[in-house]
Amino acid sequence: MKTKVIAFSLFALTATAVAVYPAYQSIGAVHNVPGDPVNVQLPPVDPQTNERPAVEVVFVLDTTGSMSGLIEAAKEKIWSIATTMASAQPAPAIRMGLVAYRDRGDDYVTRVVDLSGNLDSMYARLMDFQAGGGGDTPESVNQALHEAVNNISWSKNQDTYKVVFLVGDAPPHMDYQDDVKYPDTIAMAHKYGILVNAIQCGDNGATRTQWQQIASQGHGRYFQVDQAGSAVAIATPFDKKLAELSAKLDDTRLYYGTRAEKAKQQRKLDATDKLHADATVASRARRAAFNASKSGEANLLGENELVDDVASGRVDLSTVEEEHLPATVQAMAPAARKALIEDKAEQRAELQRQISGLTDKRADYLKKKVEATGGARDSLDHQLYGAIREQAGKKGLLYEADAPSY
């Protein structure tokens, strides 16, 4: 029987790991080739341009029944993770992925969500995960790690901070003859410049031994989450208003392009609608805080967003083919189209101003609350933040804050 874990700290702790990938639209989608996961070339970091440093983070999560607390915590804390990592200078871009795993004989062995800067869609997938199966040990850790290294679209750029967080409470099956064992997978990860950190839930001795070896071989760190956890999860009086403003901000988006491009953006809008309908108020407030950051712009807007493209001068509205315009705009006269775009831009600027102001007040409120409880300096939130600052610092990411975002 596995140990249940209240794991808010775990995902707040991974908060620090998620400064992520630029939404360079020219790169486009990628598809992995087995045995060669490195198939995206990022531009080099240049402090004289707007090209930002990148961090790619994949969570490898045990989703068996004993991990229900962690999965629910992930749904609550994922936006804090992103906001924490957005605090680096220069503001990093964000790409996150997920490999959920159980064991042979369960409903599934692994499910892979590839790295993406579209965190809304990634979050919508995360919301669908429920803990189940398990009830025995070990689990299919080897397969999960192998797929995290080989079936994910990691970049080739050596300046990118690439990291895996293995999170679970049971050791790997070392008796499956057709498995690629984790030492071989970690050697491959090292070749690709991917660090592997291991976070143990509970106190299983066999898990501890294997997790420590995985972290050591992966040039990462080992952490343990105890039964009580050390979560910093505080609701604020600003959450409800932030959630409301965030929904209004989303409504200012207009997408254009080919039929295929519109279909892609509709999937993004559907994911946003899902999180507004099903996510908690606190989680939606955390998303608002992230989207208000420089790193959050890519998640908020995505690709081919007409208001931003026209307002920024990147696109001349008069040159966009009528069939490529949003359906709601196509029937308008040119002057009416222009007026609508200007109105949406003004609304967006005002909403962003309000969100930024409330986000600052929320952060101050949380800081005081945490300080009143002793500062949470011994929490895993802070321990992981220190570890990630060290790891990411070697890639040029500077984190000056003395605490993660909550």
Phi then psi for residue 229, to 5 deg, are 70, -170
* CA–CA gap between residue 406 and residue 233 (Å, rounded): 7
Residue 226 pLDDT level (bands cut at 50, 70, 90): low
More confident: 166 or 134 = 166
Phi then psi for residue 224, to 5 deg, are -125, 135
According to the model, what pLDDT value does residue 233 have?
78
The answer, yes or no, to whether residue 216 has pLDDT greater than 50, is: yes
Domains detected in the chain: 8-232+376-393 (3.40.50.410), 239-364 (no CATH)
pLDDT tens for each residue of 60-82: 999 998 888 878 888 888 898 88
pTM reported for the whole predicted model:
0.83
Tell me the two tokens of residue 65: 């029944």
SS3 state of residue 133:
coil
* CA–CA gap between residue 224 and residue 293 (Å, rounded): 31
Q: What is the radius of gyration, based on Cα positions, of the chain?
A: 21
